[in-house]
Chains A and B, each alone.
Chain A
Amino acid sequence: MEFDFTEDQRLLQETVREFLAGECPVEHVRSLWETETGRSPEFWAKLAEIGVPGLLVPEEHGGLGMDEIDFALVLVEVGRAALAEPVVPTAVVAAPLLRESAHLALAETWLPRIAAGEALVAVAQATSPLVADAHVADLLILRSGDALHAVPRDAARLTFQPSNDPSQKLFTVEFDPQEDRRIATGAAADRLEAAALDRGAFACAAQQIGVCEQLIEMSVDYTTQRKQFGVPIGSFQAVKHLVADLKVALEYARSHVERAAHSVARDTVTRSVDVSMAKVSAGEAALEAARISLQVHGALGYTWEQDLHVWMRRAWTLDLAWGSTAWHRERLAAALFEDALPAASFGFSPQAG
């Protein structure tokens, strides 16, 4: 029994953190708000140099052959940097989906390109009518009827849908299903879609941990520096206790997210329950962090100039992606209360681990 990451996994996290501190400071995030696509191919190429897009791509296809446990701390850093490039659809969801599909030619074509940073993939979410980053994707994975299709972007019709988060690019997508673009049908398509949903939700939850860490750090820094009545406002218990409650929510969410990483990577029987718990607890922690950090920053936090809202928007956006908190809470309740839950927890059924 060991509930922690390895030295190598921590080292990978450090590498990504340093990389993002240099290549994706908040000025970079905000400068992309002013561009037409909101995305940077140059940045993605650098991200590919340190292997992030191909983390889950098997080594024989040019990737690193790692798993979701390895990816978890990388995603925390993605959240901390408020990085909005399509890491989740391309690297966390599409790569394993293509790997697990029975469509070998598709996997052989696209996996090496994903790993090399030469292809972006957008994936329709079972819980949303909108597809994120369809405008920059080379390939779109879309549902029609009982089938999943892999559709080149020029074969799809995109309509831009404005978002409250300038980092987020959303589209409605129409396409004409063709048999030769079909990845899977029926139960096989359902399985791939369910795995995609759990991977996407886990990845959002992991990013929300990073968002939450960043918001707490900004709140601690600000309330330590800002003085009123001759003392730092962070010394007032009314302020201190708000932030302490955030820390509790963060640490609890972190436990769920780390557990979910393991459950997704090993495809355990409690996978969906663990993912929903992670999505709910990380989502609530991040939303609460957004609310509280704005409160302790006062009017300053409500300005466009202050960077606080960059992370607040990430919290709101991630909460609604890959199944909202409300959606996952209901899925969880159905599993727990309608006895759809497989015997839970490794303590009582060690074979489940």
Chain B
Amino acid sequence: MDFHFTPEEQAFREEIRAFLDAHLPDPVPEDDPGFLREWNRKLREKRWVGFSWPREWGGGGGDLIRQFILKEEMAARRAPALGLDFMGLTWVGPAIIAHGTDAQKAEHLEKILDDEEHWCTGYSEPDVGSDLAALQCRAVLEGDEYVINGQKIWTTSAHVASHIFLLVRTDPTVAKWKGITCLLVPMDSPGIEVRPIENLSGKASFNQVFFNDVRTPVGNRLGAEGEGWRVVMGALANERSGISESTEMQRHLDDIRELARRASRNGRPALEDDGVRRRLSDMEIRIEAMRLTGLRHLTDQLRGKPSGSETAINKLQRGILEFEMSELELELLGSAAQHQGLLQRQTLAWHGTVIGGGSPNIQRNIIAERILGMPRK
């Protein structure tokens, strides 16, 4: 057990800090698209976007420890995310690196890093949610093209996406998870119709997507036909370990603690209130646990042990914690919170985050069945 970094790793940390000192404005104009584009360009010059992706495809070729240091330092300074296209960077790029042809890698990877492609992922359907393998959206091979018919729903960002990472059924005659194939489809293909769904915060973030005789070349298939389930399970396992999220959350909690110092309860600072202290200290403990548990997984990864269902643990906790933190923040602000439009929107957004990628009870099923081995039925 050793928490020290090597002098080389420490030097890398210093390099990041110096870069942030020189280039990151304070406060960070995180809603300014011009700034974000320019920031991404600077990060790309350092090869810090797609830090762990192979260098030959535009990535940084970096190791896991340095990736951890990079994410932690960026989050500590509240720098914008490393790269702009979240879906492409988190799910699609790693899946293409693992399963794609050289042509697919050449076509997509650098464009994801440069924010020239914007990805959405077509998983859920009207009748298919947590039982994802039962999906029905159909694709039939005709000559050298797949013809796609069906519908997806809850497709986040489809209304602004250039491509969709699409799961389709290519063989309805075999076991449900064996007949699934993964396609990489441009959103401007004729026959795709996107209908935004207004979410409860009043914004369009997810959509219905209709496929009506959409044709896409067989070269857009990721992995072999019938291998889609394996491809997507690998992509899901790429889910983040929780380390950098815990750093972001620690910064958020620091803000709440300062708020509790200023806010008043019964004529005294709220930070002296037993109830507030209990909730805040509980959050400190859980965020630290999230960071430490992320480090345990990182150590496993460094030793070549694949990250498994354990990431469900951090995912479950993160959603619940973020939500509780926002609730406490609103409570400390009291009636003044009515004027904090942004904060309320964030709180509403966390309602969505808790559900996205599998609601808490789906994570509990995964933990009970895959980790503890409890009976499915």
Contact = CB atoms under 8 A, between A and B. Distances in A.
A69 B1 contact: yes
B296 A237 contact: no
Interface in B291-323: 291-293, 295-296, 298-300, 302-303, 310, 313, 316-317
Contacts of B1: 2-6, 69, 258, 261-262
Interface string B329-373: 000000000000000000000000000000001011101110111
A247 B281 contact: no
Contacts of A259: 292
A9 to B, nearest CB: 8
B372 A244 contact: yes
A243 B293 contact: no
B212 interface: no
The contact size tier of chain A is: 35 or more
Interface string A259-302: 10110000000000000010011000000000000000000000
B65 A224 contact: no
Contact of B76 (A1, A2, A348): A348
Given A234-B374, A244-B372, A247-B367, A333 B277 contact: yes
A224 B79 CA distance: 48
Contacts of A262: 1, 3
Contact of B284 (A240, A241, A336, A348): A336
B368 A248 contact: no
Interface string A204-242: 000000000000100010011000000110110100110
A337 B377 CA distance: 47
A252 interface: yes
A315 interface: no
Contacts of B372: 216, 220, 243-244, 247
Given A259-B292, A336-B281, A1 B4 contact: yes
Contacts of B5: 1, 350
A240 B4 contact: no
Interface string A4-24: 111000000000000000000
Highest count of chain B CB atoms <10 Å: which of A3, A240, A277: A3
A216 B367 CA distance: 13
A337 B3 contact: no
Interface string A328-353: 01101100110000000111101001
Interface residues of B, number: 54
Contacts of A348: 76
A100 interface: no
Highest count of chain B CB atoms <10 Å: which of A252, A262, A277, A350: A252
A69 B281 CA distance: 26
Interface in B145-186: none
A39 B68 CA distance: 49
Interface string A67-90: 001000000000000000000000
Nearest to A69: B1
B257 A235 contact: no
A128 interface: no
Interface in B36-89: 65, 68, 72, 76
Contact of A243 (B285, B291, B363, B368): B368
A144 interface: no
B2 interface: yes
B189 interface: no
A40 interface: no
Given A252-B286, A329-B278, A345-B291, A337 B367 contact: no
B285 A240 contact: no
B260 to A, nearest CB: 8
B289 A337 contact: no
A346 B3 contact: yes
Given A1-B4, A240-B365, A251 B285 contact: no
A251 B310 contact: yes
Q: Is the interface of B mostly helix, strand, loop or mixed?
A: helix
B3 A3 contact: yes
A256 interface: yes
B201 interface: no
Interface string A193-207: 000000000000000
B23 interface: no
A6 B247 CA distance: 27
Given A223-B374, A252-B286, A252-B317, A329 B302 contact: no
B10 interface: yes
B135 interface: no
A344 to B, nearest CB: 8
A244 B364 contact: yes
Nearest to A251: B313
B355 to A, nearest CB: 16
A240 B369 contact: yes
A106 to B, nearest CB: 31
Given A240-B369, A248-B317, A252-B293, A332 B285 contact: yes
Contacts of A235: 374-377
A59 interface: no
27 contacts: A1-B295, A1-B299, A3-B292, A3-B298, A4-B299, A6-B1, A220-B374, A234-B375, A235-B374, A235-B375, A235-B377, A240-B364, A240-B374, A241-B361, A241-B364, A241-B368, A244-B365, A247-B372, A248-B316, A251-B310, A255-B292, A255-B293, A255-B295, A256-B285, A346-B3, A350-B3, A350-B10
Interface of A: 1-6, 69, 216, 220, 223-224, 231-232, 234-235, 237, 240-241, 243-245, 247-248, 251-253, 255-256, 258-259, 261-262, 277, 280-281, 329-330, 332-333, 336-337, 345-348, 350, 353
Top 9 nearest A-B pairs (CB, nearest first) are A353-B3, A255-B292, A252-B289, A244-B364, A240-B368, A244-B367, A346-B3, A244-B368, A241-B364
